[in-house]
């Protein structure tokens, strides 16, 4: 702890700015992880197969209840919108699914990209601290008296190195978290795109009698 306290003392305000960025990044990463991997997530294939069986059995009400059993998951919200228009025309089904998707997708995407921005900000703050520390060190070589030169030079180099290191310590995990969460975001969106189209085709086929034939 003493070494950390000393690093913050020599790093000055830049260390505290990077610390503030790290707090935001940790908060966003935890919140997005909980939502994307737990709240919005569902076994999409198994869920759709259950919905498909119920629709083919002409049991739309039970299919809607199945969606209500996972009210926070993203895909069931979109599927439910289509099921509520199951007895309408093709256009109404498509409009309902698209409207639900437009509501759900922004909630899946929000704040994830902020992690990449925070990682870049931490890096830039560390770089700025590095430049100012080097400027301070060069000024010490040029202007300081011999008895103060070594102390000021060490302080400038410490500012440069500490801010660089802390900036990278914050930036690297932030960018890794962004990579993982972006992958999960894309997976959820791809599932919505895939199974919403499958649902539309299923309901339209049902309306034309195709499901009954199956």
Give 200-212 pLDDT, tens digit per residue.
999 988 767 654 4
Q: Tell me whether residue 204 is exposed, middle or buried, using C-beta atoms within 10 angstroms of its C-beta: 0 to 12, 13 to 18, 19 or more.
A: middle
pLDDT computed for residue 197 by the predictor: 94
The answer to whether residue 62 scores a pLDDT higher than 70 is yes
What is the domain range of residue 67?
2-116+123-206
Q: Read off the DSSP letter of residue 132.
A: H
- What is the total count of domains within the chain? 1
**Residue 184 located in a structural domain:** yes
**Residue 214 located in a structural domain:** no
Q: Tell me whether residue 109 is exposed, middle or buried, using C-beta atoms within 10 angstroms of its C-beta: 0 to 12, 13 to 18, 19 or more.
A: middle
Separation of CA 108 from chain center: 8
Q: Give Cα separations from 164 to 19, 99, 102 (angstroms).
A: 13, 46, 41
**Residue 212 located in a structural domain:** no
Q: Which residues are within 8 A (CB) of 116 and not within 5 positions of it... i.e. 6 or more apart?
A: 174, 175, 178
**Residue 211 located in a structural domain:** no
The answer to whether residue 2 scores a pLDDT higher than 70 is no
pLDDT computed for residue 214 by the predictor: 38
**Residue 148 located in a structural domain:** yes
What is the spatial distance between Cα 191 and Cα 95, in angstroms, rounded to a whole number? 18
**Residue 177 located in a structural domain:** yes
pLDDT computed for residue 147 by the predictor: 65
207, 90 contact by CB (below 8 A): yes
Q: CB 93: neighbour CB atoms within 10 A?
A: 24
Alpha helix segments (H runs only) across the chain:
2-11, 13-34, 44-56, 60-68, 74-83, 90-109, 112-143, 146-207, 210-213
pLDDT computed for residue 212 by the predictor: 43
Give 139-162 pLDDT, tens digit per residue.
776 766 666 767 777 777 888 888
**Residue 213 located in a structural domain:** no
Give 71-129 pLDDT, tens digit per residue.
899 999 999 999 999 888 889 999 999 999 999 999 999 999 999 999 999 999 999 98
pLDDT computed for residue 213 by the predictor: 37
pLDDT computed for residue 33 by the predictor: 96
Give 156-190 pLDDT, tens digit per residue.
788 888 899 999 999 999 999 999 999 999 999 99
Closest by Cα among 47, 71, 22 to 199: 47
**Residue 49 located in a structural domain:** yes
pLDDT computed for residue 1 by the predictor: 62
pLDDT computed for residue 191 by the predictor: 95
């Amino acid at each position: 702890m003493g070494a950390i306290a000393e690093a913050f003392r020599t790093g000055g305000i830049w260390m505290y700015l990077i610390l503030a960025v790290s707090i935001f990044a940790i908060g966003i990463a935890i919140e997005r992880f909980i939502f994307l991997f737990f709240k919005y997530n569902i076994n999409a294939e198994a869920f759709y197969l259950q919905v498909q069986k119920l629709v083919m059995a002409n049991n739309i009400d039970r299919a809607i209840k199945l969606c209500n059993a996972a009210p926070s998951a993203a895909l069931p919200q979109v599927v439910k919108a289509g099921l509520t228009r199951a007895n309408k025309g093709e256009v109404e089904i498509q409009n309902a699914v698209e409207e639900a998707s437009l509501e759900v997708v922004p909630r899946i995407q929000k704040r994830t990209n902020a992690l990449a921005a925070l990682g870049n900000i931490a890096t830039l703050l560390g770089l700025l601290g590095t430049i100012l520390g080097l400027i301070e060190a060069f000024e010490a070589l040029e202007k300081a008296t011999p008895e103060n030169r070594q102390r000021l030079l060490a302080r400038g180099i410490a500012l440069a190195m500490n801010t660089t290191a802390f900036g990278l310590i914050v930036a690297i995990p932030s960018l890794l978290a962004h990579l993982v969460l972006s992958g999960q975001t894309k997976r959820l969106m791809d599932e919505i795109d895939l199974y919403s189209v499958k649902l539309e085709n299923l309901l339209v086929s049902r309306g034309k009698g195709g499901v009954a034939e199956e």
